[in-house]
Amino acid sequence: MSLLAVSCCLALLVGQAFGAGYHEDIGIPEASRIRLKEAQRASERISGGVASDYGDNPYLAGILITLRSGQLSVCSGTLLSTWRVLTAAQCWYDGYNVGRKAEVRQGLVELFNAFRFDVARVTMHPGYNPISLLNDLAIMQVDSGFWSNNKMMIPVFLPGLYETNTYAGVDARVSGYGKTSDYDQLNPNTQQHALTVKVMGPWECYWSMARRPADSSKVMCTPGSVLWGTCGADLGGPLVVPNFNATGSHLLIGVISIQSPFGCTSSFATGYTRVSEYVDWILNH
């Protein structure tokens, strides 16, 4: 998820590994791998996560992006309403590749077998920077609404305006379509995976990521481990507080943005765009 003689070249490569270049490095090969393994009844999900049953992550969306190069890439996203999905801006433009069209897959645990909803419009945050990953958010509007009576299609609940809670120490649930390990093997399951992790405090978050965030106030983290971590196609997926305040609603607090370039289980923290910093922008779109 380094020699002085070639420092200029390495700086460029490190920039691509840490920031821009998601589609060529991860998204495109992940789309091909997931399609193949679903055909072979395989699983490729969050590393160390638990296989999800129907309805476990009703807000989780799969996103297939056809790039201008014609190649297919993959991300995850979160249902905001019956018409809109929130994801990472990297999924549409990673600094090198830009999307030509996209579709949301929802309603089943299998990415390529789920119901298809074509994306009519993509709105990236105007302050998004593909190198620093600052303001790494995009909203996708589908051209036909999700089915409100389907228990696999339930939008998340957003934090209130001006929310100041850091959620440090809170148990949260991360879910997505990324692979189950750096060296994942074929197995008979083909489901979404999810994992319960504890939200880190701001200071611990800053020092635990493989790359320091451009603005730590707009990023939150969950710890990495040699046993678990977010992988590849999890990018853009949700970090939620399930059954928030015993309301039965899933509170969206983060969107997967900064993953370790050294692997899913490299023990570096996963960085999320902190949703509470962007509620006003989200509601306006």
pLDDT digits (tens, 9 = 90+) for 109-139: 888 888 899 999 999 999 999 999 999 999 9
179 and 44 in contact (C-beta within 8 Å)?
Answer: yes
Q: How far is CA 227 from CA 128, 224, 263, in A?
A: 32, 8, 12
Q: Does the pTM of the predicted model rise above 0.85?
A: no
Res 54: pLDDT: 57
Res 189: pLDDT: 37
Q: Residue 243 CB: number of other CB atoms within 10 A?
A: 12
Res 33: pLDDT: 66
* Domain 171-276 coded CATH 2.40.10.10: yes
At 179, the pLDDT band (50, 70, 90 cuts) reads: low
How far is residue 285's CA from residue 178's CA, in Å, rounded to a whole number?
27
Q: What is the CATH number of domain 18-43+58-142?
A: 2.40.10.10
Which residue ranges make up each domain of the chain?
18-43+58-142, 171-276
Strand partners, 270: 222
Is-same-fold flag (18-43+58-142; 171-276)? yes
For residues 266-282, give the mean pLDDT.
92
At 39, the pLDDT band (50, 70, 90 cuts) reads: very low
Res 149: pLDDT: 64
